[in-house]
Amino acid sequence: MQIAAAFLLFTAFTLKQDNLQKLAAVDVKGLDGKIINTGSFSNNGKPIVVSFWATWCAPCKKELNEIAEVYEEWQKETGVKVIAVSIDDARNSPKVKPYVEQQEWTYEVYLDENQDFKRAMNVNNVPHTFVLNGNNEVTWQTNVYNPNGGVEDIYKHVKEAAAAAEKK
């Protein structure tokens, strides 16, 4: 009975649902120790890629390392910003900054140590990557790393988001 009640409540509230999912507003920690609300993520109206990863997740690292090779090009063409959100907890979070520097990533990197942001974005497992348009709305997402052009696929959706932003 409780379930029925809960679902009724939810359906009622969602009849007016927008088409695009907004980025959740949750606190995460920067590598400089500052607490940042994800609602304030900004790239001046240009697209953002938010990628959830962990130091122990091999496919996540493959994906982000692959993007790192073409990131400069992506930025030149579309102005996109990549934000890598680590879900490592206290066991591995001290390893995040050393890994990021070792791989020479130039992404913005945040720690989501107790996975508040992960939960708020309904991420089941890592990797999970979101493409956001200039209004921090999710235009596309994927929860696998596909070695057959998965990274190109992300970029295809970044370009679409960038083109849509320019039209505006």
Partner 1 sequence: MKKFLVLIPVALSGIFCDLHAQIPGMGNGQIHGNFQIDAQYYNPDSAIGAPAVPEKALSNGFGNLIYTNGKFMAGIRYEHYLNVMQGFPVDYKGTGIPYRFATYNNDGLEITVGSSYDQFGSGIVYRAFEDRGLGYDNALDGARVRFTKVKGLAIKGIWGKQRTFFTSSPGIVRGIDGEINLNTLLGHKMDSCKTTFIIGGNFVSRYQIDQNPLLDMPQNVGAWSARMNIIRPKLNLFGEWGYKINDPTLGNNYIYKPGTALFVSATYATKGLGIMVAAKQIDNFGFRSDRDAAGNTAIINYLPALTKQHTYQLAAYYPYATQPNGEISWQAEIGYKFKKGTALGGKYGTSLTLNYSQAHGLDSTELHDEATTALGYETNLFGLGALYFQDVNIEVFKKFSPKFKGTFLTGVLQYNKNVIEGKIGYPIIMTHYAVFDLIFKLNDKLTFRTDLEHMYAKEDFGSWGMALAELTIGEHFFAAAMDQYNYGNKHEELRIHYVNAQAGYYWGTNRIVVGYGKQRAGIFCVGGVCRFVPASNGFTISMTSSF
Residues, the chain: 168
79 versus 140: smaller Cβ distance to partner 1: 140
DSSP 8-state assignment for residue 24: P
| Number of residues located near partner 1, criterion CB under 8 A | 66
79 versus 120: smaller Cβ distance to partner 1: 120
Q: Per CB under 8 A, does 135 bind partner 1?
A: no
Q: Of the listed pieces 42-50, 73-81, 118-126, 160-168, which binds partner 1 according to CB under 8 A?
A: 118-126
Site string for partner 1, 78-107 (x = CB under 8 A): -----------xxxx-xx-xxxxxxxx---
Spatial separation of the C-alpha atoms in residues 66 and 89, rounded to whole Å? 24
Planar angle of CA 125, 38, 67, nearest 5 degrees: 55
Assess contact for 56 and 126: CB atoms under 8 A. no
Q: Per CB under 8 A, does 16 bind partner 1?
A: yes
What one-letter code names the amino acid at 167? K
Q: Per CB under 8 A, does 123 bind partner 1?
A: yes
In the list 42, 45, 77, 144, the residue contacting partner 1 (rule: CB under 8 A) is 144
DSSP 8-state assignment for residue 110: E
Distances (CA, A) of 3 to 16, 17, 108, 114, 124: 22, 21, 40, 27, 22
Residues that bind partner 1 (CB under 8 A): 1-6, 8-18, 21-22, 24-25, 27, 32-35, 55-58, 89-92, 94-95, 97-104, 113-116, 119-125, 128, 141-144, 146-150, 153
